[in-house]
C-alpha cells in the first residue's frame, strides 16, 4: 500500500472519530466542516510521524484534539476551506428523533465545558481508560480521575435541568 492509500485508509477507518471531535469543538455546521477538513489536512501533513507512531489510535486522538483547540478563534483569518458537496457530516440526522434530541442535549452540555475538559469527557465516552486519557491530554492519571468526577457532576446537573 503506498503512502496515499495508507492515509486514505486511516481517514476512512477513523472518519467517525474525526466527526465526533468536530461536533464537540464547533458551534455550527460550517465550522464543523472547516474543522473536519483541517484535521484531515493536519493528519496528511504529519502522516510520516503517524507511520512511526507506536500507538496509532493515541496519535490520531491527539492530532484531532490539538487541531481543534489551536483552530478555535481563527474563524476570521482561517484559510478558506474547500467547498465539497460530496462531504456529508450529519450522522445525527439519521437517528430516531428521541435519541437525536438527547444527543443534542449531551453535545450542548459538553460544549459548555472548558477545552481540556471537553477532550477528557470525549475520551471517556469513547471508552478510554484513565491512563490512556492521561497520555493523550498530557496530565497525570489521578488528575484525570479528579477532573472526570467534576465533569460528570457538571454534565449530570446540566442534563437534569434540560
Partner 1 sequence: MELDEMKSLWQNLSVKVEKQEKIQKHILMEMTKKNYQNRLNSIYLPEIVGSVICFGYAGYFLFQIEKLELPINQVLAIFNTALMIILPMISLWTLARLNGLNITEESPLLLVEKFKKQKTFFWKFQQFNLILSGLFAVSILPPLAELLGKKDLVMEPFFWLIYVPIGLISIYIFGKMTVRKYKKSLQQAQQLIEGME
User: What are the residues binding partner 1 (CB under 8 A)?
Assistant: 4, 8, 11-12, 15-16, 19-20, 37-38, 40-42, 44-46, 49-50, 53, 59, 62-63, 65-67, 69-70, 72-73, 79-82, 84, 86-88, 91-92, 94-95, 99, 102-103, 105-106, 114-116, 119, 125-127, 136-139, 152, 155-156, 159-160, 162
Taking CA atoms, 50 is separated from 20, 23, 41, 58, in Å, by 20, 24, 13, 10
Task: Quote the least distance from Cβ 28 to partner 1, whole Å.
Answer: 18
**Please, which residue, 28 or 85, has the CB nearer to partner 1?**
85
CB neighbours of 37 closer than 8 A, spacing ≥ 6? Answer: 81, 82, 84
Q: Smaller CB distance to partner 1: residue 28 or 52?
A: 52
Rounded CA separation 97/140 (Å): 39
Q: Which is nearer to partner 1, 50 or 57 (CB)?
A: 50
CB of 11 to partner 1, least distance (A): 6
Q: Is 90 exposed, middle or buried (0-12, 13-18, 19+ CB in 10 A)?
A: exposed
Instruction: With beta carbons less than 8 A apart as the criterion, state whether 33 and 89 touch.
Output: yes
Amino acid at each position: 500500500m503506498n503512502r496515499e492509500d495508507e492515509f486514505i485508509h486511516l481517514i476512512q477507518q477513523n472518519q467517525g472519530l474525526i466527526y465526533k471531535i468536530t461536533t464537540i469543538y464547533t458551534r455550527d455546521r460550517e465550522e464543523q466542516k472547516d474543522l473536519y477538513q483541517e484535521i484531515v489536512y493536519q493528519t496528511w501533513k504529519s502522516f510520516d510521524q503517524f507511520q512511526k507512531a507506536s500507538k496509532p489510535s493515541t496519535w490520531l486522538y491527539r492530532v484531532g484534539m490539538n487541531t481543534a483547540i489551536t483552530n478555535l478563534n481563527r474563524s476570521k483569518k482561517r484559510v478558506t476551506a474547500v467547498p465539497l458537496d460530496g462531504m456529508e457530516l450529519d450522522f445525527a440526522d439519521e437517528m430516531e428523533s428521541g435519541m437525536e434530541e438527547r444527543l443534542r442535549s449531551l453535545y450542548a452540555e459538553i460544549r459548555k465545558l472548558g477545552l481540556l475538559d471537553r477532550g477528557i469527557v470525549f475520551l471517556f465516552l469513547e471508552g478510554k481508560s484513565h491512563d490512556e486519557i492521561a497520555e493523550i491530554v498530557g496530565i497525570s492519571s489521578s488528575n484525570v480521575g479528579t477532573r472526570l468526577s467534576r465533569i460528570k457532576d457538571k454534565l449530570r446537573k446540566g442534563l437534569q435541568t434540560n
